[in-house]
Amino acid sequence: MKTSPEESNFFSHLEGKKPIGIYPLDDNNAVRFAAIDIDEYPIDHAGLSMRLDKWELPMVVCNSKSGGAHIYIFFEEPEEPALVISELRKVSTALGYPKAEIFPKQEIRSNGGYGSFINLPFFGHPKLSYNCWGGDEQLDLDGFLALAESRITNLGALSASIADAGLNPSSVSVSPTNNHAIAGRNDYLFEFGRSVQDAVQDQAALLAILLQKNNVATEADHPNFGTKGPLPSDEVEQICKNVIVWKEKEQKSGVKHVVNELNKCHAHVMVGGKARILHIKT
């Protein structure tokens, strides 16, 4: 809705009658909450929550309507969107999801616009099940509210916690759900390089990240790291070159540009149980 919700609207949401989405940007182009939206499946919600707790980040993990994850952060006072987005991007990258969406998606409202909204959790439709996690403990709505209230913070404290945890591109992990499909250590590091290449500035930085990951990788990343150890450095250098070549080919093909343009102007929606492409005039 593009108006202030009434109490009845929230009850309607909780009862599964009509969902509510919230626009993070307020009238002053500031935010009191933000979220990381992970749309990769399957996903280990409890695992995400435990990693965030290990890093001492005051965030709350909920499942989304699609089965992904929304990771919320709540602030005491309105904060600058650009700075919030930058900090949450560090967290999503460190979790292994560098391309996850960050809400707010915009740093400032367009004229007459509200920006992008995010669906509230705990929509009570009988075919959906919502939960949040505090570590490995699954919580209901009351638990979510209590946990969120206890974790209200400010941007300065969040930034300090992120720095203390050492969250940077070199700490990124390839999504665990993909590891079983990766043939060997070389393939694992190639996929890892692809996942972080947008977050680094040049080939030297990418190589440094790959070398570090190669040295610290364990069997949790890929079984062969546990049995065979890290790859020789010259092989890692070749993997880095292969990632750069792949990136250049992707850019020349224009695939990413086409996809981005389609995402801007079209929406994939369900109408009467059937998929439709909706053209949005901009």
Residue type, 73: I
How many residues does the structure list for the chain? 282
What three-state secondary structure class fits 200?
Answer: coil
- Is CATH 2.60.120 correct for 7-167? no
Which of the residue ranges 41-45, 241-245, 254-258 would you say has the lowest mean pLDDT? 254-258
Note the pLDDT of residue 267.
Answer: 47
Contact 144, 63 (CB under 8 A): no
Give the range among 71-75, 98-102, 199-203, 239-243 with minimum mean pLDDT. Answer: 199-203
Residue 146: pLDDT above 90? yes
Reading the block at residue 274, the tokens are 């059937």
Determine what percent of the chain is predicted with pLDDT higher than 90.
33
For the chain, the C-alpha Rg in angstroms (whole number) is 20
Structure confidence at residue 190 as a pLDDT band (50, 70, 90): confident
Confidence of residue 12 (pLDDT cuts 50, 70, 90): confident
Among 3-12, 88-97, 239-248, the range of highest mean pLDDT = 88-97
**Is 70 exceeded by the pLDDT of residue 46?**
yes
Which residues lie closer than 8 Å to 234 by C-beta, 6 or more apart?
none
Whether the CB-CB separation of 72 and 177 falls below 8 Å is answered with: no
- All CATH 3.90.920 domain ranges of the chain, comma separated, are 7-167
Record the pTM: 0.60
Span 97-143, pLDDT tens digits: 888 999 998 888 877 778 888 988 888 777 667 789 998 899 999 99
**CA–CA distance, 203 with 178 (Å, rounded to integer):** 25
